[in-house]
């Protein structure tokens, strides 16, 4: 059964690691509800899936559900409550939703997607073969819960004539009376063409670093989504590097046409701007020292209207006012000097007269 591997991203919201072998869910019940009425070709129906968070720190949740072969599904994150973070249809009949946040116990999830009954569908009972929810609890996981509930829908009428041709492997039998110029009941050879499945085609389509700015010693969660666009099952190595140095490597096994999440928990003991690279995707992270956490500057900023760049405006030096040239005690100094000169002259003439 194809399952959606989960972890994501993204979020001090997310998990600490991805174990090699997913564990079965403990306490999570997931139910699917299908229309009870009979269906016709070209009908569009809603499929509803519900489950409730079994515990706090219910996070990195991914759901995969599969419609009957060849039936086309449509998804929209807004059709889910709470709204999903991501949605995807890796195959025509496959639905995927992902939630990156962490939820508390008792949160009710209602997931809806649309399915179109193909034109020319032959009357009969059609099966939704399997589906599952993959999630983490407080960094432990992934855990997997199978989808239970309704599995069958009934198509009662076709909008195109049905040919009475019986499949006999490599031959078919024309119905009596429809001779096409040949005797009734004649055998017609049918060419059987075997199509080889496409090989595995792995790629990483998203990288989330949560949070993207921390202090020294804080945990950082790095989550990526891996997809296998091929039809064969396979294993893929996911390598996490910091500033070009490999810090951790994990393997993930995915069925053809499915995707999953892989997470790494990092911790830094040095401040600086770190480059985080996971295979072909990369992002950056700011690690602050404790002294830099509350750094405040008095510089101002201005925006260049032509380039849109922000530039700092240096503080302007306030010129000192020149000393006043009027008022003060200048008159007093002049008076003292004048009196001193007069006294000296008076003493000179008194001494002269005595002589």
Q: CA 206, CA 203: separation in Å to the nearest integer?
A: 9
pLDDT digits (tens), the chain, 355 positions: 444 444 344 443 444 444 445 555 567 999 999 998 889 999 999 999 999 999 999 999 999 999 999 999 999 999 999 999 999 999 999 999 999 999 999 999 999 999 999 999 999 999 999 899 999 988 788 999 999 999 999 998 765 444 444 444 444 445 555 445 444 455 555 666 778 899 999 999 999 999 999 999 999 999 999 999 999 999 999 999 999 999 999 999 999 999 999 999 999 999 999 999 999 999 999 999 977 655 434 444 454 555 555 454 454 444 544 544 444 566 676 777 778 777 777 777 777 666 5
Q: Could you give the C-alpha distances from 77 to 83, 97, 112, 268, 280, in angstroms and in order? A: 6, 7, 9, 35, 27
Residue 92's domain comprises 23-159
Tally of domains in the chain: 2
Is 132 a member of any domain? yes
Q: In the numeric block, which tokens belong to residue 318?
A: 């306030």
147 in the same domain as 36: yes
DSSP state of 39: B
Residues 222, 154 share a domain: no
Does residue 310 fall inside a structural domain? no
Instruction: Please identify, among 293, 310, 325, the residue that sits at the C-terminal boundary of a domain.
Output: 293
90 exposure class (CB count in 10 Å sphere: 0-12, 13-18, 19+): buried
Can you give the pTM of this predicted structure?
A: 0.43
**For residues 14-32, b (16+ Cβ closer than 10 Å) or e, as one string?**
bbebbeeebeebeebebeb
Query: 227 and 108, same structural domain?
Result: no
């Amino acid at each position: 059964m194809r399952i959606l591997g989960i972890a994501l991203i993204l979020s001090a919201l997310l998990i600490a690691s991805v174990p090699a072998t997913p564990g079965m869910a403990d306490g999570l019940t997931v139910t699917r509800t299908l229309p009870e009425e009979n269906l016709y070709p070209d009908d569009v129906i809603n499929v509803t899936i519900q489950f409730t968070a079994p515990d706090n720190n219910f996070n990195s949740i991914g759901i995969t559900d599969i419609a009957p072969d060849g039936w086309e599904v449509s998804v929209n994150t807004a059709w889910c409550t709470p709204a999903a973070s991501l949605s995807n249809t890796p195959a025509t009949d496959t639905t995927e939703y992902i939630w990156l946040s962490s939820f508390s116990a008792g949160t009710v999830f209602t997931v809806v997607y649309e399915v179109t009954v193909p034109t020319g569908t032959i009357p009969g009972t059609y099966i939704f073969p399997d589906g599952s929810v993959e999630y983490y609890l407080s960094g432990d996981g992934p855990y997997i819960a199978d989808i239970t509930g309704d599995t069958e829908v009934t198509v009662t009428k076709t909008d195109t004539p049905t040919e009475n041709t019986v499949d006999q492997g490599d031959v078919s039998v024309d119905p009596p009376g429809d001779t096409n110029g040949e005797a009734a009941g004649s055998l017609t050879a049918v060419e059987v063409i075997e199509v080889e499945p496409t090989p595995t085609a792995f790629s990483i389509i998203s990288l989330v670093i949560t949070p993207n700015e921390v202090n020294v010693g804080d945990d950082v969660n790095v989550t990526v989504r891996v997809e296998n666009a091929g039809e064969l099952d396979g294993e893929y190595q996911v390598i996490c590097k910091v500033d070009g140095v490999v810090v951790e490597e994990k393997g993930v096994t995915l069925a053809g046409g499915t995707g999953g999440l892989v997470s790494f928990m990092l911790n830094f003991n040095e401040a600086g701007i770190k480059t985080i690279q996971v295979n072909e995707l990369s992002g950056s992270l700011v690690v602050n020292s404790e002294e830099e956490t509350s750094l405040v500057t008095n510089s101002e900023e201005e925006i260049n209207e032509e380039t849109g760049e922000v530039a700092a405006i240096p503080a302007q030096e306030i010129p000192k006012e020149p000393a006043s040239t009027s008022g003060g005690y200048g008159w007093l100094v002049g008076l003292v000097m004048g009196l001193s000169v007069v006294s000296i002259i008076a003493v000179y003439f008194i001494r002269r007269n005595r002589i």
